[in-house]
Amino acid sequence: MKAIVYESNTGFTKQYAEMLSAKTGLPLYARTDANNQLAPKTDILYLGWLSAGAVHGYTKAAKRFHICGIIGVGLQDPTEDSVKELRARNHIDQIPVFYLQGGLDCGKLNFLQRRLMNMMRKIVTKSLASKPELTRQELQHLQILEHGGSYVKVENLNPVLRWMETSS
């Protein structure tokens, strides 16, 4: 692996990319800069924020670079199926895939994105309303959907770092 390349809308994916770069010593590039600064076919780790399940910028990055691993950063709770869903939605077969929880910063969203997040919040709130009691995780999720917040933690990167150690 020669570099880390990322695409971030509001900064959470960038935070993970920066932490990974600091931990591994690999140079870091925003996807649009990487096109000018990295040679075609360079081996990269790619991180992209998720929108409607799509890893932003992945298709474009895959056309130019050799992607060794992919990290999708979203808001949903990680589940056993998160990676399976990412693979299916983004048509990724062989490459190692990871899912990390980012966060929400409504102030950085554009008008359309804010409207979509409001719809998402209403759907989640409605689906949880019928439950007699909410878990701590569910309460935190509602809080973040309502007011914004971050799930980013350096420990979330442990599975990625373990994989990078064994694959280098």
Ligand X SMILES: Cc1cc2nc3c(=O)[nH]c(=O)nc-3n(C[C@H](O)[C@H](O)[C@H](O)COP(=O)(O)O)c2cc1C
Q: Which of residues 32-71 bind ligand X (CB under 6 A)?
A: 49-53
Q: Which is nearer to ligand X, 32 or 51 (CB)?
A: 51
Residue closer to ligand X, measured from CB, 53 or 159: 53
- Cα separation, 163 vs 94, whole angstroms: 15
Q: Which stretch binds ligand X (CB under 6 A): 26-34, 59-67, 97-105, 136-144?
A: 97-105
Does position 103 interact with ligand X (CB under 6 A)? The reply is yes
Mark the segment that binds ligand X (CB under 6 A) among 31-39, 98-106, 131-139, 158-166: 98-106
Number of other CB atoms surrounding residue 122 within 10 Å: 11
Placement of tokens 């770069």 in the chain: 21
Q: Kindly state the smallest distance separating residue 102's Cβ from ligand X, in Å.
A: 2
Distance CA 52, CA 75 (A): 11
Q: Nearest to residue 12, comparing CAs of 160, 149, 124?
A: 149
44 in the Ramachandran plot: left (φ > 0), alpha (ψ -120 to 50) or beta?
beta
Binding site for ligand X (CB under 6 A): 8-14, 49-53, 73-76, 102-104, 109, 113, 116-117
